[in-house]
């Protein structure tokens, strides 16, 4: 039996993100009513993370759901929302949540025009599409953009998924997305370059060799950023294991 205050949740998109968020919400007691999945890979992923949840067509998911999660590529989001609005599928009072980093709730305007309640929630983490993400989600933050009256709903959903909400204004979503993309892409590129160099000189398991260094360097940089005292030269020196020069008394 569904507990009071629990939602019927439908998920459009069975990539790396949708099934994980669905599993997190299911763990909080919400009922996952269905998920859309096209490829065999996405169907397998949905079955692994959401066993027993039916694979449904998109119109049926929207019809059954109190909360619809649009976990689709950002390049497809605008057309999808508009097309479903043109078909008259969005329902008054229905929560519609998308997970695209660059967009706030403006992209959901066609659904809002039909009475749906818009939410933009982006988890700031790199997804694998496996149960490992459920653990990582517990240590992550989610950007929440929503009209003022419904911001608490977005924040509550994030907390129920185990993450921490961070409010991001509509006008700031592009900058937020740039920061997230920069951190993810540069981290991957730099680690890839460094491991390739070690491999080229015959170092076995270069990823394991660099792991402690990269993790400690990133943690130091994040701690310094939180304190507002980043000193790139000092962080780099410490990362190489060199002692900083002593201060003159």
- Whether the pLDDT of residue 238 is over 50: the answer is no
- Whether the pLDDT of residue 140 is over 70: the answer is yes
> In 10 A of CB 103, how many CB atoms?
21
**Nearest to residue 103, comparing CAs of 144, 140, 69, 65?**
144
pLDDT number for residue 103: 98
- Whether the pLDDT of residue 234 is over 60: the answer is no
What pLDDT digit, counting tens, does each position of 189-213 carry?
888 999 999 999 999 999 899 888 8
CA quadruple 17, 20, 25, 27: dihedral, nearest 10:
-170
Long-range interactions of 103-110: CB distance < 8 A, separation 24+: 103/74, 103/77, 103/173, 104/145, 104/168, 104/169, 104/170, 104/171, 104/173, 105/145, 105/146, 105/147, 105/170, 106/170, 107/77, 107/78, 107/81, 108/81, 110/81, 110/82, 110/84, 110/85, 110/86
As a whole number, mean pLDDT of residues 175-180 equals: 95
Asked if 82 and 108 touch (Cβ cutoff 8 Å), the reply is no
Strand partners, 166: 143
Q: How confident is the model at residue 248 (pLDDT cuts 50, 70, 90)?
A: very low
pLDDT number for residue 180: 92
pLDDT number for residue 242: 41
pLDDT number for residue 189: 87
As a whole number, mean pLDDT of residues 18-25 equals: 98
pLDDT number for residue 40: 96
- Whether the pLDDT of residue 237 is over 50: the answer is no
pLDDT number for residue 228: 63
Strand partners, 97: 69, 119
pLDDT number for residue 29: 96
Q: How confident is the model at residue 187 (pLDDT cuts 50, 70, 90)?
A: confident
- Whether the pLDDT of residue 19 is over 50: the answer is yes
What pLDDT digit, counting tens, does each position of 106-137 carry?
999 999 999 999 999 999 999 999 999 999 99
Contacts of 174 (CB under 8 A, 6+ apart): 102
pLDDT number for residue 229: 56
- Whether the pLDDT of residue 249 is over 80: the answer is no
As a whole number, mean pLDDT of residues 69-74 equals: 97
Domains and CATH numbers, the chain: 8-168 (3.40.50.720), 175-239 (no CATH)
Q: How confident is the model at residue 96 (pLDDT cuts 50, 70, 90)?
A: very high
- Higher local confidence (pLDDT), 97 or 227: 97
The rounded mean pLDDT for the chain is 89
């Amino acid at each position: 039996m569904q507990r009071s205050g629990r939602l019927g949740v439908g998920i459009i998109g069975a990539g790396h993100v949708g099934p994980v968020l669905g599993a997190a919400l299911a763990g909080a007691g919400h009922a996952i009513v269905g998920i859309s999945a096209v490829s065999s890979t996405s169907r397998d992923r949905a079955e692994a993370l959401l066993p027993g949840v039916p694979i449904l067509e998109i119109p049926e998911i929207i019809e059954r759901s109190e909360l619809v999660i649009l976990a689709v590529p950002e390049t497809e989001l605008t057309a999808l929302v508009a097309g479903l609005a043109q078909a008259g599928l969005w329902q008054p009072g229905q929560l519609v949540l998308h997970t695209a980093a660059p967009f706030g709730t403006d992209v959901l305007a066609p659904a809002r025009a039909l009475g749906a309640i818009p939410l933009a929630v982006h988890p700031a983490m790199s997804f694998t599409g496996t149960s490992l993400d459920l653990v990582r989600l517990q240590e992550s933050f989610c950007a929440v953009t929503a009209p003022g009256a419904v911001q608490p709903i977005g924040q509550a959903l994030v907390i129920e998924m185990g993450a921490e909400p961070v409010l991001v204004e509509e006008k700031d979503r592009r900058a937020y997305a740039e920061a997230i993309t920069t951190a993810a892409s540069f981290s991957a590129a730099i680690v890839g370059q460094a491991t390739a160099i070690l491999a080229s000189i015959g170092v076995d398991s270069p990823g394991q060799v660099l792991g402690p260094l990269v993790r400690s360097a990133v943690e130091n940089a994040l701690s310094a950023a939180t304190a507002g005292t980043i000193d790139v030269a000092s962080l780099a020196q410490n990362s190489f294991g060199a002692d900083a020069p002593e201060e003159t008394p």
